[in-house]
Amino acid sequence: MTFFELSTWDGKLFSEGWRAATESAPVREPATGAEIGRYGVASAADVATAAASAAKAQREWERVPADEKSRILRLAGDLFTERASVMQDWLMREAGSGEGKAEYESGLVASEFYFAAATAQMPYGQILRSGKPRLSMARRTPVGTVGVISPFNFPGILTARSVAPALALGNAVLLKPDPRTSVSGGLVFAAILEEAGLPDGLFHVLPGGAEVGSALVEEPTVRVISFTGSTQAGRIVGERAGRLLKRAHLELGGNNAIVVLDDVEVEAAASAGAWGSFLHQGQICMTTGRHLVHERVYDEYVELLAAKAKGIPTGNPLDGAPLGPIIDGNQLSKIDGIVQDSISAGAVLAAGGTHRDLFYDATVLADVAPDHRAFAEEIFGPVAPVTKFSTIDELIDLATATEYGLSLGILSSNAYRALELSERIPSGIVHINDQTVDDEAVAPFGGVGASGTGARFGGHEANIEAFTETQWVTVQADIAKYPF
């Protein structure tokens, strides 16, 4: 029996195998509101039980040879590749992902497991120089158990990029997916890793709300917390982890700018801007949240961007609609509140601003000022606020008028001019002549300021730093002699 049979996981969580929870909750399809299954809701007691199991299993896993760890993770990557259509279907149904986004995400999940298989084989230490006649070295050791809290928007990749390298480096993992995407962000990973032969007790999926998240952070055996979510929630997680002397890797929000300089090909710039703002209904931490456009091309850019927005239909992704539903009513209300407040404050509605059910039309707001909510806040919806600038100094003021610093795009016919400009705008990620949304397993990912605690996802170095401890070891032939 496999995961793809509903009876495998319906009403269950994954902790030392599939087991019924004392409580279950519906898996909802936001496009229709239909219940498409039920997941088991974990409790704080489940977290404690899972942590004890994980700690025991981790001691065995740590001693498993690296090539065996790699084999299991490569097989998981193969299984994600083979089952890509099923993963994509769940992303479209449960997360409201468009078909293209779902295809991209499922492919990237597989890439994360392939890359983690290579991470398991990486050198794990250094030989150090010493002033004494001895061998001196620094080696990396697993932290033990890693707690992962992942969000709803890219539930597959934002789970995989912590789970896969943590396992590769010898750790056990307790995963709490967002309750709204407990399948595509959690239970599917349990099924794939179980089929790949991951030892029992090493990986646990514990869906639930704030109670489960708090228990995970507070659990003494969990030494590292990998959290992806809002800045508000991240501050709480970071504060609690710090009090307990735990490391917290926080990938938080963004209010990312795309800069359109005066020498661009405007049609291409508007296409990039539309993709950056409207992909997955704007529910991405890297979404293009502010379009800063030079006055020379401003009117044409707004006109073209608005035309593109008006041409993007909303609807059920399973019916081929490129713009799917907002994840839930609370998020839709927040989006619409920001849009309407900004219009009342003087922004001009160039496209959209309307919705039916959970489908919010692609929206363009022109003449957005720094004191408008659409400029100052992370919207997390399909909204493109456009602001005009005249000089480079004015642009720098606008681009840096935010507490966030995740992703930045600069569009110009002179790439080196854009690169020089990027040095004046703090950001964890910079894309020259591209929009703000991108990710690769090999690339360091993370933000500065209120966007998180710096790049620590992607690439061998970042992953090793995130999920291991450094241990200094010296070895000498004879016992050292001392004066007493």
Residue 35 CB neighbours (<10 A)? 11
At 58, the amino acid letter reads Q
Q: Using an 8 Å Cβ cutoff, are 348 and 367 in contact?
A: yes
Residues 310, 355: contact at Cβ < 8 Å?
A: no
Tokens representing 330?
């609370």
> Are the CB atoms for 369 and 375 separated by under 8 Å?
yes
| Chain-centre distance for alpha carbon 455 | 12
At how many degrees (to 10) do helices 266-278 and 298-310 cross? 50
Strand 247-251 versus strand 23-28 pairing type: unpaired
Which listed residue (251, 265, 378, 465) is catalytic?
251
Residue type, 331: Q
φ and ψ at residue 425, rounded to 5 degrees = -125, 105
Sign of CA dihedral 238, 242, 244, 248: positive
Q: Could you write out the DSSP letters of every residue in 254-323?
A: --EEEEE-TTS-HHHHHHHHHHHHHGGGG-STT-EEEEEEETTTHHHHHHHHHHHHHT--BS-GGGT-SB
Instruction: Look up residue 296 and give its two tokens.
Output: 């020379």
Amino acid at residue number 139: R
Residue 105 is a catalytic residue = no
Return d(Cα 280, Cα 382) in angstroms, integer: 8
Whole-angstrom distance, CA of residue 251 vs CA of residue 397 = 25
164: nearest Cα among 51, 41, 79: 79
Catalytic option among 29, 105, 219, 285: 285
Non-local CB neighbours of 435 within 8 Å, separated by 6+ positions: 258, 272, 273, 275, 276, 288, 409
Reported as type and span, the H/E element at residue 135 is strand 135-142
C-alpha distances in Å from residue 402, one per residue of 62, 164, 378? 43, 33, 10
What single string gives the DSSP state of each residue in 139-169? EEEE-SEEEEE--SSSHHHHHHHHHHHHHHT
Could you confirm whether 285 is annotated as catalytic?
Answer: yes
| Catalytic residue annotation | 251, 285
